[in-house]
């Protein structure tokens, strides 16, 4: 890597005839539908910048590239019910840029917001209370008749398949 890592956080929601189709629609709204998602645990490397962006400003790549990310996905297929997803992040007090992401999904804004707050507090406590909240992004959608999905994704980096061990015969 030649410069600081920029982690982009975007959100989307979608509807489809199946929960999987709703997930795909939400990924499209978040700007990441044509990637193979590689889910990471929730550590922000030192020197990183975290930017909230619309889906149109997410990382770009070729169809099928690998996308290293942290994400939350909330689903429901019950008319009148809500699906919510959120990511929150904190930074170490030393100014290094090191940080933590937490991701949650649930049936209400209140639950997801509370879970994000409590998780950040607990993860900081585990590390000596040296991390402080910096930001969050939460999105939700209400099911009318078809399945729905809400997604928030934090993208770290993308890579193609060239040079991957065992990727090509």
Instruction: Kindly report, residue by residue over 122-152, the tens digit of the pLDDT.
Output: 999 999 999 999 999 999 999 999 999 999 9
Q: What is the 3-state secondary structure (H, E, C) of 121-164?
A: HHHHHHCCCCEEEEEEEEEEEECCCCCEEEEEEEEEEEECCCCC
Pick the more confident residue, 131 or 1. Answer: 131
Examine residue 35 and state whether it is found in any structural domain, yes or no: yes
Q: How many domains does the chain have?
A: 1
Instruction: Round to whole Å and give the CA distance between 40 and 158.
Output: 13
Q: What is the CA radius of gyration of the chain?
A: 17
- pLDDT tens readout for residues 30-63: 999 999 999 999 899 999 999 999 999 999 999 9
Q: What is the pLDDT of residue 71?
A: 98
Distance CA 23, CA 15 (A): 8
- Residue 68 included in any domain: yes
Q: For residue 148, what is the domain's CATH number?
A: 3.50.20.10
The answer as to whether 82 is a domain residue is yes
**18 in any annotated domain:** yes
Residues marked as catalytic? 36, 41-42, 103
Question: Is residue 167 in some structural domain?
Answer: no
CA 18, distance to chain mean position in Å, is 21
The CA-CA-CA angle for residues 53, 154, 83, to 5°, reads 90
Residue 51: which domain range? 6-159
Share of the chain above pLDDT 90, in %: 92
pTM, rounded to two decimals: 0.92
Does residue 168 lie within any of the structural domains?
Answer: no
Has residue 92 been placed in a domain? Answer: yes
């Amino acid at each position: 890597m030649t410069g600081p890592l920029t982690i982009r956080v975007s959100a989307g929601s979608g509807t489809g005839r199946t929960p999987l189709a709703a997930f795909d629609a939400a990924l499209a709204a978040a700007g990441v539908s044509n990637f193979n998602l590689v889910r990471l645990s929730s550590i922000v490397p030192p020197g990183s910048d975290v930017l909230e962006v619309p889906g149109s400003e997410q990382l770009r790549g070729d169809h099928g590239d690998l996308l290293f990310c942290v994400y939350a996905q909330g689903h429901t297929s019950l008319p009148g019910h809500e699906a919510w997803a959120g990511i929150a992040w904190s930074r170490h007090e030393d100014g290094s840029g090191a940080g933590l992401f937490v991701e949650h999904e649930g049936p209400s804004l209140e639950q997801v917001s509370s879970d994000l707050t409590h998780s950040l507090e607990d993860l900081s406590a585990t590390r000596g209370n040296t991390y402080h909240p910096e930001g969050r992004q939460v999105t939700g959608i209400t099911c009318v008749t078809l399945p729905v999905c809400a997604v928030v994704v934090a993208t770290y980096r993308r890579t193609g398949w060239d040079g991957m061990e065992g990727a090509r015969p």
